[in-house]
Amino acid sequence: MDIEDIYNLIPDFMCTDGCHECCQNFGVPSRTQVEDQRLEAFLRKNSMKPGKAKGTTCPYLDEKGCAIHPARPLICRLYGTSPNYRCKMKVAPVRLLHEDEEADIFYLYQTHFF
């Protein structure tokens, strides 16, 4: 199983333009070693340096939004898509994950990547 297999279980949705609520109020998202490696490769490929958090703001939030969007970790992808990680701005995908689906995603994530 590849990390992308897990990511593909999470529905996509579009954030409200200009909203960075989750990026500004939760700090640096947790990542596994695999996600760290993906992030490091993305940073190298894009000639970017590792960021440093400023208070509770993610170090990869810039004026355009998420600077590492293609390499963002699971928790960033999951936010807003499941009952336990609802967007505070009330944005959601067409179909919200069921709690059982969320639990399955975390089970696969923890089993294969911790």
- What pLDDT is attached to residue 27? 66
Q: Count CA within 13 A, CB hemisphere, residue 88.
A: 8
Q: What is the dihedral of CA 21, 24, 27, 32, to 10 degrees?
A: 60
Contact 71, 87 (CB under 8 A): no
pLDDT attached to residue 25: 84
Please report the pLDDT score of residue 45 as a whole number: 98
The structural domains of the chain, with segments of one domain joined by +, span: 3-113
Query: In one letter, which amino acid is 66?
Result: C
Q: How does strand 65-66 pair with strand 61-62?
A: antiparallel
Cα distances from 58 to residues 26, 67, 81, 100, in angstroms, run: 7, 10, 19, 29
| pLDDT tens profile 3-59 | 999 999 999 888 888 888 889 887 667 789 999 999 999 999 999 999 887 888 999
% residues pLDDT > 70 (the chain):
98
pLDDT tens per residue across span 54-82 = 888 999 998 888 999 999 999 999 999 99
H helices of 1-98, in order, are 3-7, 21-25, 33-45, 74-78
pLDDT of 81 reads 95
Q: Residue 114: which pLDDT band, with cuts at 50, 70 and 90?
A: confident
